[in-house]
Chains A and B, each alone.
Chain A
């Protein structure tokens, strides 16, 4: 049983035609289901959890990265399959998962190539994509064995499923997260470049003397201590053949 979660942003008039095509294609493929429309004061988590309790087995986010994040927050049961039909901009995760835009995504959904993926966790908040913090200088204890600290404020990225020209795509099925720290080099009269540290890990405890903000899949978390770990095979996600990771 499918539940389609329409984000507020896709309920505009400009998406009316595309949504209609999507609904027709889903009916043709025999995978039409219940539709839940998100709105400003409607709690997405409660709405989705209620439907899961009523027997929904696949929850499909129709929208962008933020819609998928709302769905993943709500779906805590690893047996429930999560998917996305990307519509509009800000759809980096769908691209990495190999899911095409708009109506073409219906066929990917129908093919049902389901992959068990790791989730990242920052102080208990799960994420699929990335957690970032800028201009910070925390002490990071990795695997309880060694501490890593930059000598000057740096940018930190915790990558689960993320793509970059320098590092390729982090694999969300390898049972590890990737700690990437960009420390500015001090060089006179030369364009500043970053020295980049990369550590694959399963657990890091970050402690900062000053309060710092981490953005976990775009959502701000403030504090001085961040417990970051991988939750192996926590999510079942529909992917396409063109997915970007190994």
Chain B
């Protein structure tokens, strides 16, 4: 484990959180969360995490499962083990090979449209 600093919140594996989780700093989640997650800082969802919540963060890296909508003002990184069931809004999106997304993706405030070459 890295050295903890200041406003950082860590929800470990084996811990259940229910309700409206709000933080001003960086957040690392390895456990289970039901409700909503809102942070002004960066969010990391570990591969053992199970999230059933709408998520709002500045930047996020996901390697676990999220059932809910994700809204990220900066960069959203979906690692190969991630599974998203919900809509995504992000400014920059990175998707690893193997990541699962079931939902609508909106970037830079504009929905991504399917373009067909004529």
Number of chain B interface residues as a range: 20 to 34
* Contacts A167-B3, A168-B4, A185-B14 given; does A145 touch B20 at CB 8 Å: yes
The reply to whether B4 and A145 contact each other, CB–CB distance below 8 Å, is no
Interface status of B108 (Cβ within 8 A of chain A): no
The reply to whether B25 and A200 contact each other, CB–CB distance below 8 Å, is yes
Distance (Å) between the CB of A145 and the closest chain B CB?
Answer: 5
How many A residues face the partner with a CB closer than 8 A?
Answer: 26
- Contact partners of A197 in chain B: CB under 8 A: 10-12, 15, 31
The reply to whether A183 and B3 contact each other, CB–CB distance below 8 Å, is no
The reply to whether A151 and B15 contact each other, CB–CB distance below 8 Å, is yes
Contact of B15 among A148, A171, A200 (CB under 8 A): A148
Question: A77–B1 Cα gap in the complex (Å)?
Answer: 40
Q: 8 Å CB contacts to B: which residues of A163-193?
A: 166-168, 171, 174, 181, 183-185
Distance (Å) between the CB of B43 and the closest chain A CB?
Answer: 15
Question: A199–B25 Cα gap in the complex (Å)?
Answer: 10
Question: A147–B35 Cα gap in the complex (Å)?
Answer: 10
Distance (Å) between the CB of B4 and the closest chain A CB?
Answer: 4
Question: A183–B10 Cα gap in the complex (Å)?
Answer: 12
The reply to whether A181 and B12 contact each other, CB–CB distance below 8 Å, is yes
The reply to whether A146 and B18 contact each other, CB–CB distance below 8 Å, is yes
**Residue among A143, A166, A181, A195 with the most chain B CB within 10 A?**
A195
The reply to whether B1 and A146 contact each other, CB–CB distance below 8 Å, is no
The residue in chain B whose Cβ has the minimal distance to the Cβ of A145 is: B20
The reply to whether B9 and A149 contact each other, CB–CB distance below 8 Å, is no
- Contact partners of B15 in chain A: CB under 8 A: 148-151, 181, 183, 195, 197
Question: A146–B32 Cα gap in the complex (Å)?
Answer: 13
Question: A145–B1 Cα gap in the complex (Å)?
Answer: 27
* Residue ranges of B at the interface with A (Cβ–Cβ < 8 Å): 1, 3-22, 25, 30-31, 35
Instruction: List 7 contacting pairs A-B, 8 Å CB cutoff, sorted by A.
Output: A145-B19, A146-B18, A148-B17, A149-B18, A150-B16, A174-B6, A200-B9
Q: A150-B14, A184-B14, A195-B30 are in contact. List 17 more A-B contacts (CB 8 A).
A: A143-B22, A146-B19, A146-B20, A149-B16, A167-B3, A168-B3, A168-B4, A183-B13, A195-B12, A195-B13, A198-B8, A198-B9, A199-B11, A200-B6, A200-B7, A200-B8, A200-B9
